[in-house]
């Protein structure tokens, strides 16, 4: 399992974040699914069926996250099964993948119901006995949400029919379709419905491709001044940022950390520029057959500072590539 897979599963398995995610996808941000009404389910789906040779075949798939959700809404109570599939990359067969998970979840419900009826011997007709399911038995609805944790636009299929080639239009009504429930950061229009720090994660993912937009987001959203450690770690991993995290801190001021990182980058850039400028000056004087002592005197610098640059440049005669000389000096510094 990759670091991104592990991080995503651990991060969204938290009931508060899971509920927040589901409420935004399913209820437009209304607080309907509550963290305390979620119950962990086994993420391993195992379904046994009969093959063509009448031998039992066991199929097994491992979901990312799978929970029971007890919902009270519009005066009624419901139970649904909700699975979350995390994608750090675009999956071009995601409708088939998710559909298979859902079929296995429904198949297991039918299998468990049939087992119960066999044990209690309470089927009323031969039809009910053969199917293992009675006229009054009901399935618990299964919902699978795909969370895309990439920074690119999602250009993968959103339904099974997107994966078909040319199909006779008269046949389409007879071909069952399957639609995925996709949450893609670049497509989120309003972040105000999020109640947990997954809001900050998705905002960064939406703007990670543009540093100016990222800066604007960090400055305008005060919530970035108080982000939990796990979310900052997730942001670093999925958005490719390098926000410094103090080992002693559980809450991080991302606005401050981003500004400090930017300033450090500017300083490093200045240092790199100055270093390469000195190398360029030494190369020009070396090409005029100046000695280390002469170059040091003309640049008003110590000979021990000039000497290693001089030797590195001399080793690359006659090209004298400034960037390669700099890389060699850095390499020699690490080996010293």
Sequential DSSP letters for 138-191: -PPPEEEEEEE--SSPP-S-SBGGGG--S--TTTGGGS---B-EEE-GGG----
How confident is the model at residue 249, as a pLDDT? 79
How confident is the model at residue 323, as a pLDDT? 83
Among 221, 227, 230, smallest CA distance to 191 is for: 221
Most confident of 100-109, 254-263, 275-284: 100-109
CA–CA separation, 188 and 191 (whole Å): 7
Tokens of 217: 């987001």
29 touches 23 (CB < 8 A): yes
CA–CA separation, 197 and 194 (whole Å): 8
Average pLDDT, the chain: 85
HSE-CB of 328 using CA atoms within 13 angstroms? 16
CA–CA separation, 309 and 326 (whole Å): 8
Region for residue 132 given its phi and psi (left: phi exceeds 0; alpha: psi -120 to 50; beta: otherwise): left
CA–CA separation, 94 and 46 (whole Å): 20
More confident residue, 18 or 288: 18
How confident is the model at residue 15, as a pLDDT? 96
3-state secondary structure of 328: helix
Instruction: Give the Cβ contact number of residue 142 at 10 Å.
Output: 18
More confident residue, 83 or 210: 83
Q: Cα dist. 29→170, 180, 192, 331 in Å?
A: 39, 19, 8, 53
pTM of the predicted structure, to 2 decimals: 0.73
Q: Which residues contact 291 (CB under 8 A, 6 or more apart)?
A: none
For residues 209-230, average pLDDT: 81
Q: Is the pLDDT of residue 265 over 80?
A: no
Q: Is the pLDDT of residue 252 over 90?
A: no
Percent of the chain with pLDDT over 70: 89
Angle between helices 229-239 and 3-13 (to 10 degrees): 140
Q: What share of the chain is helix, strand, coil (3-state, %, to 5)?
A: 50, 15, 35
């Amino acid at each position: 399992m990759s670091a991104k897979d592990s991080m995503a599963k651990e991060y969204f398995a938290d009931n508060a974040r899971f509920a927040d995610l589901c409420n935004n996808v399913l209820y437009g941000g209304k607080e309907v699914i509550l963290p305390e009404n979620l119950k962990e389910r086994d993420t391993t789906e195992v379904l046994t069926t009969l093959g063509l040779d009448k031998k039992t075949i066991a199929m097994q798939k491992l979901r990312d996250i799978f929970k029971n959700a007890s919902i009270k809404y519009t005066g009624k109570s419901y139970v649904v099964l909700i699975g979350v599939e995390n994608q750090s990359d675009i999956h071009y067969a995601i409708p088939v993948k998710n559909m298979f998970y859902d079929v296995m979840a429904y198949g297991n419900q039918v299998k468990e119901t049939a087992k119960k009826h066999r044990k209690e011997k309470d089927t009323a007709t031969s039809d009910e006995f053969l199917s293992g399911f009675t006229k009054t038995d009901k399935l618990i609805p299964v919902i699978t949400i795909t969370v895309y944790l990439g920074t690119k636009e999602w250009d993968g299929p959103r339904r099974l029919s997107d994966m078909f080639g040319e199909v006779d239009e008269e046949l389409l009504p007879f071909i069952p379709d399957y639609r995925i429930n996709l949450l893609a950061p670049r497509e989120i229009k309003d972040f105000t419905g999020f109640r947990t720090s997954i809001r900050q994660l998705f905002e960064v993912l939406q703007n990670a491709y543009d540093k100016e937009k990222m800066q604007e987001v960090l400055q305008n959203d005060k919530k970035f001044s108080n982000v939990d450690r796990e979310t900052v770690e997730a942001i670093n991993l999925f958005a490719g940022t390098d926000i410094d995290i103090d080992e002693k801190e559980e809450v991080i001021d991302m606005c401050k950390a981003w500004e400090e990182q930017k300033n450090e980058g500017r300083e490093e850039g200045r240092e790199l520029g100055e270093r390469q400028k000195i190398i360029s000056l030494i190369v020009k004087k070396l090409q005029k057959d100046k000695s280390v002592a002469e170059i040091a005197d003309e640049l008003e610098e110590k000979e021990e500072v000039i000497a290693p640059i001089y030797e590195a440049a001399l080793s690359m005669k006659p090209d004298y590539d400034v960037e390669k000389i700099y890389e060699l000096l850095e390499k020699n510094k690490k080996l010293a």
